[in-house]
Amino acid sequence: MDNRPIGLMDSGLGGLSVVKKVIAKMPHEDTIFWGDQAHMPYGDRQQDEIISLARTGLNFLLSQNVKVVIFACNTMTAQAMPTLQAETDRQIIGVIQSGALLAAKKTRNLKVGVIATTATVESQDYTKEIHYRNQKIKVVEQATPKLAPLVEANEPAAVRQAIVSESLQPLVGADFDSLVLGCTHYPFIAKEIQAAVGPQVQLIDPADQVAQYTFNVLKRDGLLAQRQTAGQHQYFTTGQAASFSTMARAWLDQPDLTAQHLD
């Protein structure tokens, strides 16, 4: 048994969608979240920049003595995880394998769409991971670089819908039955995404499988927390702590949540 916290990190607020699932799955675990809002979005950056920025977050979480690290960011997973995993003996869990596994399981017509940042789409990691599970699945990936900043800006509903519909326009008419939300920001605009693609398409949120996989790893390695009380949760941002806290309270239903700023 191990009462050390679970570390999670993202380029901004999006990773909170994974935090929410992890807390629901493992309510007795402590968590520490690091969001690099000062440098988001990551999706338009070069790989060496992404690795350098992610290394900063990873080093911070390791300094907090976390027992496992979740890259709650598809771009980090695609562009930085292989390099940074080689630099630490702490296990890093990404989101892309989980999203690919869910998509491969749930598609009925063997046609899957993926929306993600430019960097994630260029890596083709979703196509590779889905084909690893089933070569017969046709995968269409679409870069939607406007969506993560849209979530961070917390725009009104009408603005969100207009930008989402515009971003997903190239996918209109495609006959995939499942759409992977390949950025952890996207679950927060799932309603607008669903409206844009239609009710016949099922949305795949990798966070569900990430939480389950993390639980499986901790159980396998004897690292589950021993306490019976609810876990404690800490939030750090390189951006504005006040605005982060306001949005995080609403998204996570934690009225007492207060984030701390990190330079």
List the catalytic residues. 73, 183
Task: Tell me if 215 sits within 8 A of 26, measured CB to CB.
Answer: yes
What are phi and psi for residue 227, nearest 5 degrees? Answer: -65, 155
Backbone angles phi, psi at 192, to 5 degrees: -70, -35
Report the distance separating Cα 29 and Cα 50, nearest Å. Answer: 29
Beta carbons of 94 and 46 less than 8 angstroms apart:
no
Using CA atoms, how far residue 21 sits from 26, 78, 210, 247, in Å, is 8, 21, 8, 17
Q: Which residues of 193-221 are buried (b: 16+ CB within 10 A; e: fewer)?
A: beebbeeebbbbbbbbbbbbbbeeebeee
Cα separation of 230 and 239, whole Å? 28
Beta bridge partners of 8: 33, 70
**CA–CA separation, 183 vs 17, rounded Å?**
10
- Rounded distance, CA 14 to CA 181, Å? 11
